[in-house]
Amino acid sequence: MFRRKLSALDYHNPGGFSCRDETEFRNFIVWLEDQKIRHYKIEDRGNLRNIHSEDWPKSFEKYMKDVNCPFKVQERQETVDWLLGLAVRLEYGDNADKYKDSTPDAAKNTDNTAKNAEPLINLDVNNPDFKAGVMALANLLQIQRHDDYLVMLKAIRILVQERLTQDAIAKANQSKEGLPVALEKHILGFDTGDAVINEAAQILRLLHIEELRELQTKINEAIVAVQAIIADPKTDHRLGKVGR
């Protein structure tokens, strides 16, 4: 998940890093601050460097606030990814002349027409501000989290297009006028012994059928939305990932 950013920052073990290993995680944070981010002065990094201290989690939480990280300490993967994005941005700033004229080989061979056809492809998905914004939108719209922020953004776009456009809102606000129904044509299937109760039961059954139809419609819409996401031609089932 972090291999490309770790490699870009010349981390010693980009392929084997695990943020779930507490000791490795703490050492990584110290390395990141000492070598790349350098938010604190050297003399102020003592608490963060003392990785065996019981107070280290408090020091790390303070560090998160000091660098304005939008995630909570418990959200470790998101925090690591955000810090790596910050480090890459700072690394580029320190070496702007070195990288400003660099163009990835893949970018040189990309068709500009294809780029314009898919607006999301031009986004900088590694930008910390972009990730924080996508996460905030996903939380607001109650969309399931995904390791790929671009996949989450596509899900947000689908939801907005289908539910939050002016046409969708107007359609949802339209009052439904019911059609007259001849209850005598609908067989109840049982007899309560009371004509009034029988009629009430018929009405409840018809309302229930209508609710089931609405539920089926929503299920179909959900299936279409999921298919729109997983239909990405870049899907690699071997990696268990969708899209880029």
pLDDT tens string 19-70:
889 999 999 999 999 999 999 999 999 999 999 999 999 999 999 999 999 9
Specify the pLDDT at position 239. Answer: 52
Closest CA to 31 of 53, 51, 57: 51
Specify the pLDDT at position 212. Answer: 85
Q: What CA–CA distance (Å, rounded) separates 180 from 198? A: 18
Specify the pLDDT at position 94. Answer: 57
Q: What CA–CA distance (Å, rounded) separates 157 from 160? A: 5
CA count, 13 A, side-chain hemisphere, 83? 30
Q: What average pLDDT score do residues 181-188 get? A: 67
Q: What is the pTM of this model?
A: 0.43
- Mean pLDDT, the chain, whole residue set: 77
pLDDT tens string 118-144:
555 566 777 777 788 888 888 877 777
Please answer whether residues 143 and 153 qualify as being in contact, where contact means their C-beta atoms are separated by less than 8 angstroms.
no
Residue 103 pLDDT level (bands cut at 50, 70, 90)? low
Query: Which has the higher per-residue pLDDT, 231 or 41?
Result: 41
Asked if pLDDT for residue 78 goes beyond 80, the answer is yes
Least confident of 39-48, 100-109, 184-193, 217-226: 100-109
Give percent of the chain with pLDDT exceeding 70.
Answer: 72
Q: What average pLDDT score do residues 178-191 get? A: 68
